[in-house]
Amino acid sequence: MPIINKFIEVETSQGINIYNITDKIQNLIASTSIKNGQVLVFSRHTTTALAINEYEVRLLEDVKVFLRKLAPESDRYLHNDLHLRDVPPDEPMNAHSHLMAMMLSTSEVIPIIEGKLGLGTYQSVLFFELDGPRKRTIFCQLSGDENELI
């Protein structure tokens, strides 16, 4: 059973943004010989997250509003006391972004069936930028069988 490691790069916009990375993952699968198995999708950053849900504009706006209510940027956070920490000079005050990320997930495991993501009708793989703009890297580990199902 092969195990293949791949990366997806995403250039994000400012603030909170949600990106549909389903096609990028599907393209990774298509570039391999794996027909049936699974793909682990893992966010490599502490202020990003992943989820499987519907990619619908009004729902995405609802999610952004919900996250901002959950951890308002204007609240007082100890992590933002930059003068009390050893940080680089360009360190942002981003405690709210860390807290939002902790309420979501850093990874998803998705089945691969006949060379395709085994998602439901309205499901997409969503990547959450909570502290942009940044260049982000998403790790994907594909594993499985190279044979078709019988």
* The pair of three-digit structure tokens given for residue 109, joined into one six-digit string: 């495991």
Dump pLDDT digits (tens) for 89-113: 999 999 999 999 999 999 999 999 9
Return d(Cα 119, Cα 85) in angstroms, integer. 43
Return d(Cα 23, Cα 20) in angstroms, integer. 8
pLDDT on residue 150: 55
Dump pLDDT digits (tens) for 42-78: 999 999 999 999 999 999 999 999 999 999 999 999 9
Residue 128 has pLDDT above 80, yes or no: yes
- Could you please state the CATH topology (level 3) that the domain comprising 3-74+91-145 is classified under: Jelly Rolls (2.60.120)
pLDDT band at residue 1, thresholds of 50, 70 and 90?
Answer: confident
* The pair of three-digit structure tokens given for residue 56, joined into one six-digit string: 């619908």
The reply to whether omega before 133 is within 30° of 0 (cis) is yes
Taking the CA atoms of 17, 22, 27 and 29 in sequence, report the sign of the dihedral they define.
positive
Dump pLDDT digits (tens) for 83-93: 999 999 999 99
pLDDT band at residue 28, thresholds of 50, 70 and 90?
Answer: very high
